[in-house]
A and B are shown apart, each in its own frame.
Chain A
């Protein structure tokens, strides 16, 4: 089974986020960048499927120069090749739609039976790209996948989705798009030889113009706000457990007014 995996580079979840001057985005200097964690599940699944039944794994990534780090991480995990749509200007203002258009243009020339995405990117949390990609490529989209199995003839996939309070098992003809959820697998820690090999794996670099894409974003971010700073916690004092519990109840009732 050949797979394409869409990987996005996002700021590390622990990194300090500051808004840029006009408040429509974040300050990108001095940020530690990582591969979107949900995309790691996607890469891992594609590589596991390759290890099981052969085929190749191609990564596709839209992002500036530094996004190459995320691509190399994915190659170190076992992907074979990558397409890097290196277009800082386009990437900076791309909304999920424009992103999906660019990805679709890069993917359409590739050979694939499955496209894996993360269920959402942890930066803007839109969760839309995979679905729009499905529309553009005219493929079925199965979201929030926690188990993936290829049928014996390799023509369909039997996947399990996480739904509120239970699971749904879905059979879908390939090719199709899947979005990976935590639990799908445990992404590997790339071994040193794999990291070294990844440095030599082929990465095709393309601009949006190379792909013949001229999509304008459909949405524009007008403003961003940081969440209010967390208030310092309050320690409940008391002579013993009972006294502390009483003080806590009082505080919840009178100060926080939640009970």
Chain B
């Protein structure tokens, strides 16, 4: 057979002639390792127990197993393609190398087994020969090198770079050293074998030795050694390698290496509802009947919430992007998840009875740390801006901040325990349907001097222009509402506003945890919308946009909702408005992505297109933009709360604009506009810099001012 000499002897130097003791022992050890691995999963408090504990959870959840085909496709693409992991290029590439390296090595080991224990004994043939063998040699060496490079990159990050958001536990280091040891001992075995065989002049494989380039490198230090010594060393390291590999397999059951299984499972079970960050539904009728709202006990979470805590690999990506953490507030989304995990482990100990069953712990008899206050601080709970950066960043598809909103719901609805400033906001929403508590009869005053059609007069219109509280009541943002009305008029859009019939969308109430108030506001609006047979809605505010689009739908209000940037982008493109007039000296411009437009709804390009269409200055990006845009600090009801901890989020964002060297910061969100305007003032840049809502600039450029 041609090329039959191009191969290698499996179990070379380990299995001699006669009864293959080492071969049998290898299988015995492997079996023991697998048994230990399984016992690790089944041990008291192990993964299986933890999953049993999760199954006690009572909270509702979104569907997790529908669309099986699509889920599977997505999970496979994500796991093997590393799309989200690669968003952080350094860690991403390191992980990709280790991941693919391991897959290759697994495949290599499998081929060895297949040849040695299936093909050879059954068919007395050799598939590992000739050209395929050379390819096989090359590719497995490549796999090993990838693993080593990846691990070294991680080691550098862990021991040298040490970013402040990186968690550092012994297992993190053990795993890296274990992987390095597996790869290095593997190469040593190969190198020693090569040194004793292929690298010897005259060996039939000698011309092909470089296909095993990795082993070749590792053979170099042994080139001066006697063959006997090389063989002796080879045998020792062969066994060392085997035991490290088997130890690694066992360690999977005891460490975060379990993520090899849990993360793909979590990706498969990802949230596939339209709403990227759904909160638990509270059916309106339950307000009359339920005894408790929100969550104050671990078991009130959904099983998936608890499974999330199992999946978290503590990578810290969510921490690295969290505006609260980055302004020194006591909120680290990873720690929220990890604290839930530790709490689950502690409660599991109590829930396990003598015969190993997991039973429900009655609330009355539980005296351990409370979920709110002990496990998760109230300060942590209130610090979140719901910016969604954590969810967006998480490579394990964990949903972090909604778990905090569940706790807010309990605090707000059950205990009336919220930052004192918020009470006035709730009152305003209750009495005048706006958080400022300005007389609701003045809601349409911004439009007094304009020709803005009222739904009550027009009866029907293609679009409802839902202005929202900021556009209607806040002096700064009324400018945007006025600009939009002028633009819509000029473009001949068939639209109308609700005037004093409009009510607060309720986003802040919902995110502060007052679902009861939110639903009252939403119901009132939905009734009015439906009264006018509204089908399409344009919102000024991204918060209203998101709320009407997702939350109202959950309540039966089904509308086509657009943010004004989508509409303006279309109007400009189709030539319905032309931007010919000068807008003044804006200098270089940056666009600040609103969380609720960008991360929540993927509206990144429309606002940028509009700014480009103005034909002024250059559009430059700030340090964080698009998916990684840094929050202004006002979401999640934070707009209405004092920011007493750490530094101010809006100032940090404004500083990014300053560092980008821009003169103008544009936004398309009333909250962002307010926060950035304040930030510019607070940082003393009022003379050099300015903030605009995009709508104002468009109105100006269209000659409508």
Contact = CB atoms under 8 A, between A and B. Distances in A.
A253 interface: no
A192 interface: yes
Interface string A176-204: 00000000001011111101100000000
A186 B442 CA distance: 29
A12 interface: yes
Contacts of B288: 196
Contact of B413 (A12, A14, A15, A191): A191
A188 B418 CA distance: 11
A15 B288 CA distance: 30
Contacts of B440: 14-15, 32
A12 B431 contact: yes
B414 A193 contact: yes
B287 interface: yes
A191 B413 CA distance: 5
Contact of A191 (B287, B416, B432): B416
A188 to B, nearest CB: 6
B29 to A, nearest CB: 61
A34 interface: yes
A195 B412 CA distance: 13
A106 to B, nearest CB: 27
B426 A189 contact: yes
A226 to B, nearest CB: 14
Contacts of B426: 189
Interface in B256-296: 287-288, 291-293
A196 B516 CA distance: 11
Nearest to A12: B431
B432 A12 contact: yes
B516 A14 contact: no
Nearest to A193: B414
B498 to A, nearest CB: 16
A22 to B, nearest CB: 23
A29 interface: no
A16 interface: yes
B441 interface: yes
A interface SS class: loop
B293 A16 contact: no
A32 B431 contact: yes
Contacts of A191: 413-416
B441 A16 contact: yes
Interface in B426-463: 426, 431-432, 437-442
Interface residues of A, number: 15
A188 B414 CA distance: 12
A79 to B, nearest CB: 16
B423 interface: yes
Nearest to A32: B431
A14 B439 contact: yes
B699 to A, nearest CB: 22
B420 interface: yes
B129 to A, nearest CB: 75
B438 A14 contact: yes
Interface in A14-35: 14-16, 32, 34
Contacts of A189: 416, 418, 423, 426
Given A15-B439, A196-B287, A190 B432 contact: no
B287 A192 contact: yes
A30 B49 CA distance: 60
Contacts of A188: 416
Nearest to B517: A192
A111 B437 CA distance: 38
A190 B437 contact: no
A191 to B, nearest CB: 5
Interface string B507-520: 00000000010000
A159 B208 CA distance: 100
B414 A14 contact: no
A192 B423 CA distance: 14
A16 B439 contact: yes
B438 A186 contact: no
Contacts of A192: 287, 293, 413-414, 516
Nearest to A199: B288
Contacts of B438: 14
A41 to B, nearest CB: 14
A193 B442 CA distance: 33
A78 B265 CA distance: 48
Contacts of B437: 14
Interface string B486-518: 000000000000000000000000000000100
Interface string B563-606: 00000000000000000000000000000000000000000000
- A16, A189, A195, A196: most-surrounded residue (chain B CB, <10 A): A189
B113 to A, nearest CB: 62
B431 A14 contact: yes
A173 to B, nearest CB: 34
Contact of B420 (A12, A15, A186, A196): A186
B407 to A, nearest CB: 15
A238 B202 CA distance: 97
Interface in B647-665: none
A72 B128 CA distance: 84
B545 to A, nearest CB: 27
Contact of B432 (A14, A193, A195, A196): A14
Contact of A34 (B413, B416, B431, B441): B431
Interface string A71-97: 000000000000000000000000000
- B416, B420, B438: most-surrounded residue (chain A CB, <10 A): B416
Nearest to A34: B431
Contacts of B441: 15-16
Contacts of B418: 189
Nearest to B420: A186
Interface in B613-668: none
Interface string B657-686: 000000000000000000000000000000
A12 B430 CA distance: 11
A242 B440 CA distance: 40
A34 B291 CA distance: 27
A91 B660 CA distance: 65
Interface string A150-192: 0000000000000000000000000000000000001011111
Interface of A: 12, 14-16, 32, 34, 186, 188-193, 195-196
27 contacts: A12-B431, A12-B432, A12-B439, A14-B432, A14-B437, A14-B439, A15-B432, A16-B439, A16-B441, A16-B442, A32-B440, A34-B431, A189-B416, A189-B418, A189-B423, A189-B426, A191-B413, A191-B416, A192-B287, A192-B293, A192-B413, A192-B414, A192-B516, A193-B291, A193-B292, A195-B516, A196-B287
Closest 7 CB pairs between A and B? A14-B439, A16-B441, A192-B413, A189-B416, A191-B416, A12-B431, A189-B423
Given A12-B431, A12-B439, 11 more contacts: A15-B440, A16-B441, A32-B431, A32-B440, A189-B426, A190-B416, A191-B414, A192-B413, A192-B516, A193-B291, A196-B287
